[in-house]
Amino acid sequence: MANSKSNSRTGSLKSFSEAAGATKGLRRFGQSIKRVVREVKEESNVSESRDTLVDRYNRATYATRLLEETYQISISNLVTLHNNYMRSKEVKNLFNRYTLLRDMIKDAVKLESSWWAVAELPKQNRAESIQDYVLRVCSVLETLRMPFDASGGFQESEKEKEARLEKVNEMTSMQLQEENVVLFNNLYRLLKKYVAIRQIIKTLSNEYADSKLYPMFPRYNLLKDMIKEVTHHPDYMEHRHESRVQPD
């Protein structure tokens, strides 16, 4: 009797899932029909196939997610360093403050050893269009094994995936082409910001490694100068407000 009830519940859940899937499929089919009708009315000349436009949209969306997360981690890393440095000024003991400066820089440059963050993104060629350059960057990002951890920062949720699929399904080819232009331009700007912030961290990492050759007292001044170079860097000052970690 118990098995019978269990099978009944399982069957009900399965039927519900199948019904939900069928409803979603019908809705998307209806969206596709409406989109085709709009495309006929537009009578627009789109130079690329819809499959190509969809593929580029999906690739750029994926790259944007990854690059936005790595950018946020990088800029937040520097803001955290800045905040820690400001708090360290309250420590009057020279030895204790030296330890604090050393440790806070050490924590900041750990990002340079993160296997997902060390990829060298290609530089733009002079004659290369924004679209071609961004597509080359997408190809690099697609080869990385990103840390899909509990925070989910790099991973697209099912809800976000459904929203993306429905958005693409509703857009005409002309709308998709225009959306790609906006998406690629935004990704290009994000890429420039990310590279600038990553360069600050890379420089800090190299200088920190070189400072290990010095004894404590001269190194103390070097550590302070390193942090000041970061906190006064034009790129950091321009973008620090975008960090999830707010400056103190």
Q: What string of H, E and C letters represents the secondary structure of 174-201?
A: HHHHHHHHHHHHHHHHHHHHHHHHHHHH
pLDDT at residue 3 in the model: 52
The alpha helices in 43-157, defined as continuous H runs, are 50-88, 94-108, 130-141
pLDDT tens digits for the chain (248 residues)? 545 545 555 555 455 455 545 565 555 655 565 556 566 556 567 888 899 999 999 999 999 998 998 899 999 999 999 999 999 999 999 999 999 999 999 999 988 777 555 567 888 999 999 999 999 999 998 887 766 554 556 778 889 889 998 899 889 888 999 999 999 999 999 999 999 999 999 999 999 999 999 999 999 999 999 999 999 999 999 999 999 998 87
pLDDT at residue 226 in the model: 97
Ordered by start, the domain boundaries in the chain are 1-43, 48-242
Unique residue bearing structure tokens 């005409």: 172
Q: Which residues contact 11 (CB under 8 A, 6 or more apart)?
A: none
What φ, ψ does residue 202 adopt, rounded to 5°? -65, -45
Q: Which tokens in the block code for residue 22? A: 């069928």
User: CA dihedral in degrees (78, 84, 87, 93; nearest 10)?
Assistant: -130
Q: Which tokens in the block code for residue 173? A: 């080819």
Q: How far apart are CA 43 and CA 39, in angstroms?
A: 6
pTM, two decimals, is: 0.79
Q: Which residues contact 231 (CB under 8 A, 6 or more apart)?
A: 81, 82, 85, 237
- Going from the C-alpha of 245 to that of each of 53, 69, 77, 132, the distances in angstroms are 36, 13, 8, 33
Strand, helix or coil for residue 234: helix
pLDDT at residue 46 in the model: 80
At residue 98's C-alpha, the angle toward residues 248 and 233, to 5°, is: 45
pLDDT at residue 117 in the model: 56
